[in-house]
Amino acid sequence: MGFRFQGVDGIGLDAWLSADERLVRASTRQFVEENLIPIIEACNRDSRFPKELVRPMGALGYYGANIHGYGCAGMSNVEYGLVMQELERGDSGLRSFVSVQSSLVMYPIHTFGSDEQKNEWLPQLATGEKLGCFGLTEPDFGSNPGGMRTRARKSGGDYVLNGEKMWITSGTLADVAILWARMEEEDQRVRGFLVDTKSPGFRAYDVHEKWSLRASVTSGISLQDVRVPASALLPGADGLKSALQCLNQARYGISWGALGAAMACYDTALQYALLRKQFRDQPIASHQLVQEKLVWMLT
């Protein structure tokens, strides 16, 4: 005997949703149930990213969902949040992948990029034809990005980047990287660059033996004299505040994802309590002590 997820609404959100928002939630929930749930246990066990879902999610408009134009879905912020909620209900790693593609790659290109950068990259990123990553965190500086050591120096009409990045989601999957570096010619001011991951001197490697987010690719990046043209500079990204603005955008989706994770925890506990039978062959959900725990979780 099995159960199909019916939905958990412990905060009364459903009453505030429009018909379109419910439709987005329902379609994402169906995608997760039919395509992710059947494989995610094996993906976590084998530490495998489900790359076969990349293009289908692009076809559904999940990447850059709340960006308008450039082939993006143009969803409302609430609709985008509901997508994040349902994806995380299936797996935190997959939601993390979509968050990075959307909020940490497409958002900075859309917000800080030139028209040429937007037209070249956003349509391909929206479909999943191209994948991206975001390089801010470094081996010695995680919560304190102000300590950044990665440097960019002017060399003729180009820039040359040197440094290390760490804990980068999708680093070895990415075709393009949003990298942040201190400018030697601008009093160490932090600027953002669009870097082709096939550039000489760019090396990404995976972090193995993680205890969580095992269906997500986590990487380190090494930059050894990576030469990029001046056109790789994100013209609107000026200072560390621009990088932090991207993180704030990502946190919006992450907060919706936390709701999805909580929904999954409750649903799993409820299903187990209904299936597990003890004491005269009764489901343990029939006992007040278990009921109290389920109510506590929901309230």
Mean pLDDT of 150-164: 96
Mean pLDDT of 146-158: 93
According to DSSP, the residues that pair with 151 across neighbouring strands are: 162, 182
Whether the pLDDT of residue 233 is over 50: the answer is yes
Is the residue at 6 inside a domain? no
Nearest to 221 by CA among 201, 191, 250: 201
pLDDT at 162: 98
Q: In angstroms, rounded to a whole number, what is the distance separating the alpha carbons of residues 192 and 113?
A: 10
pLDDT at 74: 97
Domain C-terminal end among 221, 241, 261: 241
Residues 173 and 38 occupy one common structural domain: no
In the chain, which residue ranges form alpha helices assigned H by DSSP? 19-31, 37-46, 54-59, 77-90, 92-99, 107-112, 115-127, 240-275, 288-298
The amino acid that residue 217 corresponds to is V
Nearest to 148 by CA among 181, 101, 186, 114: 181
Residues 64 and 189 occupy one common structural domain: no
Whether the pLDDT of residue 4 is over 90: the answer is no
Q: Which residues contact 18 (CB under 8 A, 6 or more apart)?
A: none
Is the residue at 55 inside a domain? yes
Taking only the tens place, the pLDDT of each residue in 67-81 is 999 999 999 999 999
pLDDT at 173: 98
Q: In angstroms, rounded to a whole number, what is the distance separating the alpha carbons of residues 16 and 7?
A: 15
Whether the pLDDT of residue 211 is over 90: the answer is yes
Q: In angstroms, rounded to a whole number, what is the distance separating the alpha carbons of residues 55 and 14?
A: 29
Residues 49 and 143 occupy one common structural domain: no
3-class DSSP state for residue 17? Answer: coil
Residues 105 and 181 occupy one common structural domain: no
Mean pLDDT of 7-13: 80
Domain containing 178: what range? 132-241
Q: What is the DSSP string of 139-167?
A: TTBSS-GGG---EEEEETTEEEEEEEEEE
pLDDT at 146: 80
Mean pLDDT of 138-147: 83
pLDDT at 153: 96
Q: In angstroms, rounded to a whole number, what is the distance separating the alpha carbons of residues 121 and 193?
A: 13
The amino acid that residue 195 corresponds to is V
Whether the pLDDT of residue 278 is over 70: the answer is yes
How many distinct structural domains can be found in the chain?
2
3-class DSSP state for residue 103? Answer: helix
3-class DSSP state for residue 211? Answer: coil
Share of the chain above pLDDT 70, in %: 98
3-class DSSP state for residue 98? Answer: helix
Is the residue at 64 inside a domain? yes
Whether the pLDDT of residue 219 is over 50: the answer is yes
Whether the pLDDT of residue 249 is over 90: the answer is yes
The tokens describing 215, both together, are 């269906």
Residues 227 and 257 occupy one common structural domain: no
φ/ψ of 34, rounded to 5, equals: -85, -30
Mean pLDDT of 25-41: 96
Largest CA distance in the chain: 82
The domain that holds 257 is classified in CATH as: 1.10.540.10
Is the residue at 84 inside a domain? yes
- pTM value? 0.92
Using the 8-state DSSP alphabet, how is residue 132 labeled?
E
Taking only the tens place, the pLDDT of each residue in 118-141 is 999 999 999 999 999 999 999 988
pLDDT at 1: 45
The tokens describing 273, both together, are 């309590």
Is the residue at 120 inside a domain? yes
3-class DSSP state for residue 299? Answer: coil
Mean pLDDT of 201-223: 96
Taking only the tens place, the pLDDT of each residue in 279-288 is 889 999 999 9
Nearest-Å Rg of the Cα atoms of the chain is 21
pLDDT at 274: 92
